[in-house]
Amino acid sequence: MSRTPIASLPLEATIPMPPISSARFAIGEVVRHRLFDFRGVIFDVDPVFANSDEWYEAIPEDVRPRKDQPFYHLLAENTDSSYIAYVSQQNLVVDDTDEPVDHPAISGLFELYAGGRYKLKPHHRH
């Protein structure tokens, strides 16, 4: 089987890159969900959807977010529990309560809370 080197393919045969959207929120920022009653601190960001198709399909179609936007990993809390959440950018807003998030994993990643955000511990920075 012979293969044509990519460099010799015509320009029209190249695969277009998807548009790159920029993240509105930063690691350490405290946010809340726009529709559901929970809030959390961001500990990671995916530039586009990077979870399973099963997870995505489990979201009701009328509230299912687009995949071509940043998705955030949160150390989340509600009135009943603490957990990890994966949330699209369109469903997050800044949490303006100025209250820290009560999640048991925060002390492992962050060292200081001030001004509505947490400071990442030095050994977790790239």
Q: Name all domains of the chain by residue range, CATH numbers in brackets.
A: 22-124 (2.30.30.390)
Say if residues 25 and 42 touch (Cβ distance below 8 Å). yes
Q: 10 versus 62: which is more confidently predicted?
A: 62
**Buried b / exposed e along 13-51 (16+ C-beta atoms within 10 A):** eeeeeeeeeebbbebbbbbbbeeeebbbbbbeeeeebee
Tell me what pLDDT residue 17 has. Answer: 59
Predicted structure pTM score? 0.81
> Counting Cβ atoms within 10 Å, is residue 100 exposed (0-12), middle (13-18) or buried (19+)?
middle
DSSP one-letter code for 37 = S
Helices (H), the chain: 53-57, 106-109
Q: Other C-beta atoms within 10 Å of 105: how many?
A: 14
Q: Per-residue pLDDT tens for 19-58?
A: 667 899 999 999 999 999 999 999 999 999 999 999 999 9
